[in-house]
A and B are shown apart, each in its own frame.
Chain A
């Protein structure tokens, strides 16, 4: 008998809204103030407090969709998306099998992970110089 013949259907409990997402909006507003006035970035770890899937959808809808969507291919695809509030980024790290590893809301001008590192730039420079030398 194959596993598909075992009649198991798991019903996901519909937890609905827990009310935990609401105070996060206020926290984000505070962080935006700190970024605009003092240039201080802030991060919220979405795993740090219990949020139901419905809470995350609610939060995402309130924050809206902004102009920038970036994907990062690093042992799995990460997405870095600006929300409709400039400077507020929704960052989702996934593993190679597309499961969510960690999820953050970053309040910053540019998320750290998007920036190129000077050491990597030097390596790229060396690579390109090598390409040029092979051309001549």
Chain B
């Protein structure tokens, strides 16, 4: 195992065995064959350092910086950071020291010097209303910048649900005309890494794959890496056996909630959401929404923001995403029962001239 990168890591006190352990784990997380860990270690060890690193240009559009927060707050800093040491991050507004015309100059120099080879990361949606005037950097619209930067890119990573699907800015009535990167760019390979925000290891995994094999990982029909978005949250949920047994929490403070039963009836979107939260978890693998007692919001799926209520069970009617169609039979039956119960409750409230609460409306 030789090369500039591993030499640089050894100087920082990271041993070859530690590096091999990290690569074996990364390959396992990416569902690559177990022998790929060794191949990744060899290829990445030999990666260039200094001026020879592949150029990455990261453009933030209509976004909240949550995606940058997620990535930069990833844990085991020496190793996740290592992936970023392997690339030359030539433009990232939030992280770069340069500002003003110097920053814009760095962007244009990088685009020119690495034409056809750089990796373009976009976070945030693209505002198209009023000619793109709703979101500008250095006096130019995001739409313009994207059209300028995309042709020279080897590949584009649409980071976060906004770049991948339009995200929250796209929520009805979409005042800024927000769209996804793939709505504008049709002639480049685009990897969608959705999530609000996405899991840090997903982006480092995609970068590692690109740097190791010189290609993008296998993608699903929504352009997401299959390794991380291959299973639903529900498939891998540790509360799944309760669903199978028909044990559901009915409110957030009942016996079922205290015993950690399935959150399907409280609106969990786990059965229709493809993401790796259930296995990779969050905050240094401390916990994840369902483990913390709250259902999945479905943040890595298109239009989750307009899906009709986070606390509405999937099998309820009035479902703009047509999510109900994919819920399993058992779940659908359970959901129908909830729906009837809620309707009955509302009817009783109406009959008794009781106040209908917001929660009642939400469940209907």
Contacts and interface: CB of A to CB of B under 8 A. Distances in A.
A93 B24 contact: yes
Nearest to B240: A13
A129 interface: no
Interface of A, helix, strand, loop or mixed by DSSP: loop
A74 B14 CA distance: 8
B21 interface: yes
A14 B240 CA distance: 11
Nearest to A52: B241
Interface stretch (A55-63, A82-90, A99-107): A99-107
Contact size range, B: 35 or more
Interface of B, helix, strand, loop or mixed by DSSP: helix
A95 B239 contact: no
Contacts of A101: 21, 25
Interface residues of A, number: 33
A104 B20 CA distance: 13
A45 interface: yes
A7 B34 contact: no
A43 B32 CA distance: 12
Contacts of A97: 284
B170 to A, nearest CB: 35
B364 to A, nearest CB: 29
Given A48-B28, A113-B17, A11 B35 contact: no
Interface of A: 7-15, 43-45, 47-48, 50, 72, 74-75, 78, 93, 95-97, 99, 101-102, 104, 112-113, 117, 119-120, 123
Given A74-B18, A75-B76, A104-B28, 13 more contacts: A9-B259, A13-B238, A13-B245, A43-B34, A45-B34, A74-B17, A75-B78, A75-B79, A95-B76, A101-B21, A101-B25, A112-B20, A120-B10
